[in-house]
Structure 1
Amino acid sequence: MCGLTGKPVNHRLNGFTLIELLVVVAIIAVLVGLLIPAVQKVRDAANRMSCQNNLKQIGLALHNHHDSLGYLPAQGDYRQAGGTVYWSLFTRILPYVEQENLQKLIDFSRPISQQPEVAKKKIKLLVCPSEINDRERPDTPTFTHYPLSYGANNGTWQVMQPPAGVGDGVFMVNGYTRLTDILDGTSNTLGVAEVKTFTPYFREGANPAVGGITPPQNPTQLEPYWTASEFKTDSGHTEWVDARVHQTGFTTTFTPNRVVPHHRDGRAWDVDFNSNREGRSAILPTYAAVTSRSYHGGGVNVLLMDGSARLIRDQISLATWRAMGTRAGLDILQPVD
């Protein structure tokens, strides 16, 4: 068809056809699908680095405490007030992490239960940026705790034998460790490792010492101790002020992120175990399987006692992991990837 000028008229409109539009949408969807994992990977890497920086600051604080007082802070002291005063080592290093004013609020001669203004305080340094449960835990209508993402090295399995400390980790109960006591070398020895907040755990079970003090080799060997235990569904590692191992510690009984399964009420739980909470008995020992866990894929961040921080892979051998957890086992370690 010709117009008035005698030239052909082009009736095609400028724009996208439906097919072209669908192609563009499909391309955008593919690009977004590629971009999201990349962004997530960058975010995870940044969180892992930030977590390691937290650990390095904790390590610096521990060393400054040692330089000032001549020893590392104790994991807890249960010899006062009938074992009801058990402030964590993290409360002892507050002045070295720019929290001196908070420590001034603490009366270390009185129980935690009498000082709610301290227990509810969030210490940002103690929470990993990847932690998905970064929130308060109400204990009573008038008392709130704040969780933490890091636990101190309480050794392999036996944490305490009243009245002495006994544990083979870096941080002792009812006693102090000096850097010169770490005979395995500070670069080979775990100081602090990641843990997950709101961890379910068993407590006050059968006494493992009855069957010998050899650490279990796999989680199924813990099950006999659970029979008469009290099960707590979500309160492990929720009290940064509490020195007891299920709150501010870990043990190397099992390798990082090893699932310790328990099935109850139609649910599968990944649990910790504390045979007898520290301070409850003047004679009964405490054994604990409190596993280091994290939300970083493939491993956990740890602080070594030389002040360095690194990622330890889940595939580390149990023997090597346990050797890293002792302060004076005199083990010869293989290189850790």
Structure 2
Amino acid sequence: MSRKLNGFTLVELLVVIAIIGVLIALLLPAVQQAREAARRMSCTNNLKQLGLALHNHHDTYGKFPAGASNEEDSSSDETGGHWSARLLPFVEQTNLYEAITLTTDSANFAAGGGGVSGASLTSSNASHRNIAACETLVPGFRCPSAPIPEQIRDTSTDNWTVQNRVPASYLGNCSGTLTSDYQSGQGQAWWGKSAGADLNGVFQNFRPLRFADVTDGTSNTVAFGEAVPDPRNTGAREDSANGASAQKDHWIIGGDDADVPADWSEMFGTLGVGINLPKVDPGAAGFSEYEFGYSSQHPGGAMFCLTDGSVTFLAETSDAATRKAYGTRNGEEVVSN
């Protein structure tokens, strides 16, 4: 009497393996989409928190933070603090804010001679505390979709260095019309008390603006947008008039380049150029636009926080007139969704 053996034949096993492979192939895109949706939600929340911080700063001081450098009533405008430093108390980073010095020229945000190693937030040296702040990771200033290093060596236009500076994902909006952050290119008074007409965004360098200055309406004007940095760890001077050694670099807290007319894309962006522009090598045609524009790893566009605190997604296919209208605070344009 023969016994029937139970088991898979080779053909059946191959069929099962093939079916599992197909199911995995179908499932992976769904998993990736779910992960991107979660990252996009986190990015949206980061921008929402920046919008709330901007409002709380205005409620407290009656004005937005200065885009960079010192306050308008100072005799100096070379201290180098970015708008992000002044928002730290309003994004639950009071301890970090209290460690830095924003109102003294000698308290630098970088160091000569190749930088300083082991800078500490508790140092008795104000410059070392500022540098340590620049080396501190603040997750709320970084989009989780952006593939950027946690820290990188940064050497400024004036050849001052931060050994482990933290790249950031969000830029303050300074314009809806500028296409270059190099002063002689468009005649902007970048770091003085005066400002050219094209500095028509929510942030200027030395002069803090107010809600009253946003005459186009806070729901029609971008305050912050995301931009993917493309830092290059060359150890050389990062930007010489947008020349061969330039970077697309974005930083928080402060920097040595706040008082030079060549690298305002460190903390500012413009909607005068397209969103998600293709990568351009330093020194090549179109690098100025690429360096100064907004971008993201979210498919099809980038996230922006409007001045009313709401967050919106602007498509990279948005027409130029709509994009620029969102960038200006006082252009009297009609924004079309």
Q: TM-score, normalised by structure 2?
A: 0.78
Letter aligned with residue 68 of structure 1: T
Deviation at 1:237, TM superposition (A): 1.2
Deviation at 1:202, TM superposition (A): 8.4
Question: Which deviates further from its counterpart, 184-193 or 76-85?
Answer: 76-85
Q: 1:75 to 1:20 in 2, by over 3 A?
A: same
Q: Any idea what the Cα deviations from partners look like across 1:129-181, whole Å, max 9, x if unmatched? A: 11111410123787321111000001021764144133111111211111111
Larger Rg: 1
- Native 8 Å contact 1:71 1:176 kept in 2: yes
Structure 2 counterpart of 1:164, from 187, 191, 194? 194
Letter aligned with residue 29 of structure 2: P
User: 1:111 corresponds to which residue?
Assistant: 108
Q: 1:66 to 1:83 in 2, by over 3 A?
A: closer
Aligned equivalents of 1:69, 1:263: Cα separation in 2: 40
- Native 8 Å contact 1:137 1:238 kept in 2: no
Letter aligned with residue 237 of structure 1: H
Which residues in structure 2 correspond to 1:1-337 (within 5 Å)? 3=1, 9-10=2-3, 12-77=4-69, 84-108=78-102, 109=104, 110-113=107-110, 114=127, 115-139=130-154, 143-155=163-175, 156-157=177-178, 160-161=188-189, 162-166=192-196, 167-199=199-231, 203-205=239-241, 229-233=243-247, 236-242=249-255, 245-259=264-278, 261-262=280-281, 271-272=287-288, 290-334=292-336, 336=337
Aligned equivalents of 1:163, 1:180: Cα separation in 2: 19
- Native 8 Å contact 2:69 2:78 kept in 1: no
- Native 8 Å contact 2:302 2:316 kept in 1: yes
Letter aligned with residue 195 of structure 2: G
Q: 1:81 to 1:246 in 2, by over 3 A?
A: farther
Q: 1:270 to 1:54 in 2, by over 3 A?
A: farther
Q: Any idea what the Cα deviations from partners look like across 1:204-232, whole Å, max 9, x if unmatched? A: 44xxxxxxxxxxxxxxxxxxxx6xx3432
Q: 1:170 to 1:263 in 2, by over 3 A?
A: closer
Secondary structure of 2:245's aligned partner: strand
> Any unmatched runs of 5+ in structure 2?
111-126, 156-160, 182-187
Q: Any idea what the Cα deviations from partners look like across 1:75-107, whole Å, max 9, x if unmatched? A: 112687875411100000111011111111111
Q: Supply the RMSD in Å over aligned alpha carbons.
A: 2.7
Secondary structure of 1:93's aligned partner: helix
Letter aligned with residue 257 of structure 1: N
Aligned equivalents of 2:302, 2:222: Cα separation in 1: 12
- Native 8 Å contact 2:193 2:207 kept in 1: no
Secondary structure of 1:303's aligned partner: strand
Letter aligned with residue 121 of structure 1: T
Letter aligned with residue 94 of structure 1: L
Q: For this pair of structures, how many residues does the alignment match?
A: 287
Aligned equivalents of 1:245, 1:139: Cα separation in 2: 15
Deviation at 1:272, TM superposition (A): 3.9
Secondary structure of 1:122's aligned partner: coil
Question: Which deviates further from its counterpart, 169-178 or 137-146?
Answer: 137-146
Letter aligned with residue 143 of structure 1: Q
Q: Which one has a larger percent strand, Structure 1 or Structure 2?
A: 1
